[in-house]
Amino acid sequence: MGVTEDLEQARAAYERREWLDAYRGLSGLEDDVLPFADLLDLATAAYLTGRHDDCVLVLQRAYQRALDSVDAVGAARAAGWLCQLLVDDGELAVADGWAARAERLLDASGAGPDEPAERGLLRCTRIFRLLAAGDVGAALETAREVADFGERFDDADLRALGLLTQGRLLTLTGQVREGLRCMDEAMVGVVAGEVSPVAAGLVYCSMIEGCTSVSDFGRAAEWTHALTAWCAAQPGIVVFTGQCAVHRAQLLRLHGRYDAALAELDRAAERYELAGEEEAGRLVAAERGDVLQILGRDGEAEEAYALAAADGRDADLAAPGRALLWLRRRRHGTARDAVRRMLAEAGDPATRSRVLPAAAEVLAATGDVDEAGTAADELRRLAETFGVPALHAASACATARVAVARADAATATASARTAVAGWSALSATHEAARCRVVLGEALRLRGDEGVARAELRAARATFVAIGAAPDARRCTHLLGEDAAPHRLSDRELDVLRLVATGCTNAAVAAELGIAPKTVSRHLSNIFAKLDVTTRTAAAAFAYDHGLAPLGRSTHA
């Protein structure tokens, strides 16, 4: 087959979005055979198949090809996309250098300050430089300029990138309703197929990330399903699939499907590794920690949170879930210090909306009721401003927790009922059940013991069904059903829970950080207190009393 035929086949594969075939076909041809446009297509195919370094090299070659041909516009386009990659890698200074070089080329060519469209692509780099300097206002104005370039030159990529960036920056500053409208508008060109594959993937992922950053889980679910379908329609695509799996895991966690969520996170880790996106592993670790702590696999959760927080960005990733884990393990001082630190570090409204629910819960539980009330009040104001259902539910729950701590039965009952209804409407199984526990506590304060016990039993049944063993155990404690029958110590309860989930003595020892002989001694005490003689009978007791998830076996 001749060079012309090979090139046509590679181009056809590119048009069909068969990225691996397109990459193989285009990369198999000599550089001097490929026209400039095909070099850009090769760079796209390399990027989408996870060949990041190849993509950078091809864009550099494309830049030089345009330079040799005295094509300033082409050189600026190659440089603009190269800048996008460099910014994504955290190499902002290098990206600035390329952008400045391309701007000078356009100036020397006689192009005006607001033409051609490629100047809009180069201004995307300026946005990140302004954000690094803390000038969000100027960054927002620059994003508007990028979108204007897209409108004036009918460039769908610039229009979508500009609108999307405006939306993210608006949500960052608390203008959530307007920000979400901008992000929705950015998706119009993506859904219509007008936006190039790389820009479409960037917009999809950033859109979903923006939705989850303000707890808009309805929008996040809608666009996650769309991104999943978009990725599935493109054989060989590697980039974006890791983040897509993370978003699926977040939704599965919301709905109480924890095994499926962990499987998606395993898939995300694999895809990130294929794409060479090692830094994204922290996001996977944080999400894994949140799932594991709900399941009561505390040792694994601690390890995951430690990995997520390895670079010190606690407020963005690991801090809320980690603080709740410490609270449950009765490390009250550590949990309280953690939430105070994350509140001090979380400056923008979107980040604060994510950390305030955990802060209010920890502070109320550790006796810092006035601080908890301040956090709950701020969360309520943000929920009213954002207009997002999940945030309203979280705010109502925080208000109820503070009211319980203040023995204000009326406020606690009303707010807890609002929270249960809000989370239930979102099919957020675990959160709705946790709010039902608060409702049970509020009803008990009001003197409605029978109704309170019914709410606590209903919550426990949900926790047992989804595998949230620590929450089920707390319900049992609140019901007073674990006091007289067995008198197990906290450590013995930890051992029983792990044995019930299928752990061997060695696995229990590793999980709890104790010696296998100590596990054996605890088991002997457990058998005596429960008047049983086998692990199976002890596990059955654990299931009956909500101390372990039904139908689960997490260890061999």
Q: Catalogue all structural domains in the chain, each as residue range(s) with its CATH number.
A: 388-481 (1.25.40.10), 489-556 (1.10.10.10)
Is residue 416 over pLDDT 50?
A: yes
Q: Which residues lie closer than 8 Å to 325 by C-beta, 6 or more apart?
A: 289, 293, 298, 301, 302, 305
Decide which of 114 and 147 is more confident: 147
* Token duo for residue 336: 């309280």
Token representation of residue 252 = 């599965």
Average pLDDT over residues 356-372: 97
Taking the CA atoms of the chain, what radius of gyration do you get in angstroms?
27
As given in the structure block, the two tokens for residue 504 are: 């061997």
Confidence of residue 394 (pLDDT cuts 50, 70, 90): very high
- 3-state class percentages of the chain: helix first, strand second, coil last, to nearest 5: 80, 0, 20
Q: Are residues 541 and 530 in contact, defined by beta-carbon separation less than 8 angstroms?
A: yes
Query: Which residue's structure tokens are 């104005």?
Result: 141
Q: Which two tokens stand for residue 380?
A: 């309520």
Residue 437 host element (H or E): helix 429-446
Phi, psi of 171 (to 5 degrees): -65, -35
Task: Give the DSSP letter of residue 34.
Answer: S
Report the SS3 class of residue 539: helix
184: closest CA among 209, 207, 152, 213? 207
Instruction: Pull the structure tokens for residue 366.
Output: 């550790």
Condensed to tens digits (0 to 9), the pLDDT of residues 179-203 reads 999 999 999 999 999 999 999 999 9
What percentage of the chain reaches a pLDDT higher than 90?
77
Q: What is the pLDDT of residues 499-526, one digit of tens each?
A: 888 889 999 998 888 899 999 999 998 9
Residue 104 confidence (pLDDT): 95
Report residue 312: phi and psi, to 5°: 90, 0
**Contact status, residue 413 vs residue 446, Cβ threshold 8 Å:** yes
**What is the predicted pLDDT for the residue at 531?**
79
211 pLDDT higher than 60: yes
Question: Pick the residue with more confidence: 257 or 494?
Answer: 257
Q: Is 552 left (phi over 0), alpha (psi -120 to 50) or beta?
A: beta
> For residues 207 and 215, what is the distance between their CA atoms, to the nearest angstrom?
12
Query: Sorting pLDDT into bands at 50, 70 and 90, what band is 490?
Result: confident
How far apart, in whole angstroms, are the C-alpha atoms of residue 242 and residue 265?
9
DSSP state of 29: S
Give residues with Cβ within 8 angstroms of 46, minimum separation 6.
23, 27, 52, 54, 55, 58
267-325 confidence digits (pLDDT tens): 999 999 888 776 778 889 999 999 999 999 888 999 999 988 876 554 467 889 999 99
State the chain's maximal CA–CA distance in angstroms: 90
Per-residue pLDDT, 409: 97
Q: Is pLDDT at 550 greater than 70 in this prediction? A: no
CA distances from 183 to 7, 152, 153, 175, 479 (A): 37, 19, 20, 12, 47
Tokens 């104790």, residue located: 514
Backbone angles phi, psi at 464, to 5 degrees: -65, -40
User: Please, what's the b/e burial string for 352-368 (b: 16 or more CB within 10 A of its CB; e: otherwise)?
Assistant: bbbbbbbbbbbbbbbeb
